[in-house]
Structure 1
């Protein structure tokens, strides 16, 4: 379910101070029945497990395959970049040994994790982006997982890229992600063996 931008910007997430000049592109909500405020690591592990094990055909997976191939052809994802990582902006209490480590099954590196929010980063020649996940308590007392996508386009190429992919995000990528993540939560008992950078107790 897509939500207004203000549902993210009005909450006291720590990412606001770390990425103050990033624009919030999208905010999306996921149903996670029975979730509690300390279940973020469990949810993230389930998401990573579903991404690692789900290899069947889907329009979303096809789009990502096309995106990676275009990136390979045009050098969009070259490791060399003049854009500094947001890890340099982290306060000391958010720094962990896993900071900057690749996320298993996801095209991101870890920025930080607390008990109720996690931020993941990707930097390439089109955009500098952050995927932020956090638990939010709803009016009926349940907890809802919310994802906000924060971006800073890299010049004209980045702005053109974001405009070009907008229809695909709303029509294909986010609906497919919603089904996958909500299913991952329901089936989370089978994902406990996945090893991710998010080990130990978050601060």
Structure 2
């Protein structure tokens, strides 16, 4: 379920101090109920997913189309990513976050940091520098659930145009399918009590 931007901005996440110049693009509730200690399991699940393998045909088609257009227009060429066109957000981390775990590999994203209730990973190309922020939030009934936020820093007018063009596909197709998949996989891996 899509949430208001304030569901992210009203919380004291560390990403606010690391990426204050990024815009919050969208926030999604992840119905992944669990205890306070289960956040690492959610991060591990996300990082090990082979998205969009197994997703509906329309999502796989859009994903493949995006990578083909990227190859044609040069959006993803060498020198356009994190560490090339843009510095990694790891260079902005305060000392305590630099000493925190970086987090798992999440290709094509690069993990920035992982804490007990928040994980950030970044991706850059010629259109945008983006961050996926996964958080573990109280669910109001004594438990917790995931929250996924997309933060973006478009690369000029070209990047803004790109983000505008793909917005309907992200909001109506890709993100809803991704959220349902995360929730379904979470339910399928819930530890069973003997």
Q: TM-score, normalised by structure 2?
A: 0.87
* Structure 1 contact 30–144 (Cα < 8 Å) conserved: yes
* Structure 1 contact 8–148 (Cα < 8 Å) conserved: yes
Report the 3-state secondary structure (helix = DSSP H, G, I; strand = E; otherwise coil) of the residue aligned with 2:28.
strand
Counterpart Cα distance in 1 of 2:52 and 2:70 = 24
Shift of 1:182: 0.4
Q: Are 2:83 and 1:86 equivalent residues in the alignment?
A: no
Shift of 1:96: 5.5
Shift of 1:38: 2.0
Change in 2 beyond 3 A, CA 1:123/1:7: same
Show the 5 A alignment for 1:20-99: 20-33=20-33, 35-51=34-50, 54-55=53-54, 57-81=56-80, 82-95=85-98, 99=102
* Structure 2 contact 55–177 (Cα < 8 Å) conserved: no
Q: Which residue of 1 aligns with 2:163?
A: 162
Change in 2 beyond 3 A, CA 1:99/1:78: farther
Instruction: Kindly provide the CA deviation profile for residues 180-202 of structure 1, in whole angstroms up to 9, marking residues without a partner as x.
Output: 10012112369xxxxxxxxxxxx
Unaligned runs of 5+ in 1: 191-203
Counterpart Cα distance in 1 of 2:180 and 2:55 = 14
Show the 5 A alignment for 1:180-199: 180-188=181-189
Q: How many aligned positions are there? A: 187
Superposed structure 1 runs of 4+ greater than 4 Å apart: none
**RMSD over aligned Cα, in angstroms?**
2.2
Report the 3-state secondary structure (helix = DSSP H, G, I; strand = E; otherwise coil) of the residue aligned with 2:47.
helix
Instruction: Kindly provide the CA deviation profile for residues 139-196 of structure 1, in whole angstroms up to 9, marking residues without a partner as x.
Output: 2223121011111100111000010011001110011111110012112369xxxxxx
Report the 3-state secondary structure (helix = DSSP H, G, I; strand = E; otherwise coil) of the residue aligned with 1:45.
helix
Instruction: Kindly provide the CA deviation profile for residues 37-65 of structure 1, in whole angstroms up to 9, marking residues without a partner as x.
Output: 22122112222334269446532122111
51-60 or 68-77, larger mean C-alpha shift: 51-60
Q: TM-score, normalised by structure 1?
A: 0.84
